[in-house]
Amino acid sequence: MCQLNDEWCRYGLLAYGVAYFMLAVVWRSFMVYRRTGVNPIVLPSSDDAYGFVGRAFRFVVFGCAVVVSIIAFAGQAPVWLGAYEVLQSRAVSSAGWLLLCVPLPWLLVAQAQMGASWRIGIDSQRHTELVARGLFTVSRNPIYLALRLNLLGLFFVFPAAATLALLVAGEILVQVQVRLEEQHLSQLHGRSYASYCSRVRRWL
């Protein structure tokens, strides 16, 4: 059982967060850049829907980093983050770690299957391939699905007002981003994307 003051739980979350960021963001960005010469992180700061989502994405990522750091290093983290101690149980924490660990290889495989088409954000300057193979045959958004499960897992491992806020903010952000990307892909790939959508669900 992962109690909120267990060292293995606190430092485990920190280690997981660092590994997640290095593998899913730093390493994948490097691989795409080395292959294409293109920076795959495309998060605009313009005063439109795309810019708003880009800023919100940065805020959620920063919020996750701050919350996980507080959990790891602050003895008063349960108090500061508004812990819901009533939700602590072996079953809930086990489900949380499962939701953190299982979707990570799923996410990394989906990123690899996207290859040079992988982006963080919407790249309106370059034509990217429509990826409809591998995990993308069972979900149109396997990477975002993994992100949703990860945020839910963080809340289960450390049930608190702060992690609940990140879960809600992340869920809203992902739902908006997915629809913006679908609009972009529809304009980019036309009938091919419409046919793909008719075969594969948005999530599962």
Q: Which CATH class is domain 7-199?
A: mainly alpha
Q: What is the pTM of this model?
A: 0.93
- C-alpha 126/C-alpha 144 separation (Å) is 21
pLDDT above 50 (res 106): yes
Which pLDDT tens digit goes with each residue over 133-163? 999 999 999 999 999 999 999 999 999 999 9
Q: What is the amino acid identity at position 55? A: R
Q: Half-sphere exposure of 182 toward its Cβ, with a 13 Å CA cutoff? A: 18
Cβ atoms of 50 and 44 closer than 8 Å: yes
Secondary structure tally for the chain: helices H, strands E:
9, 2
Q: Give every CB contact of residue 14 below 8 A, 6+ residues apart in sequence.
A: 68, 69, 71, 72
Domain boundaries, the chain: 7-199
Residues in the chain: 204
Q: Looking at the predicted structure, is the pLDDT value of residue 1 above 50? A: no
Average of per-residue pLDDT values in the chain: 94
116-138 pLDDT per residue, tens: 999 999 998 888 999 999 999 99
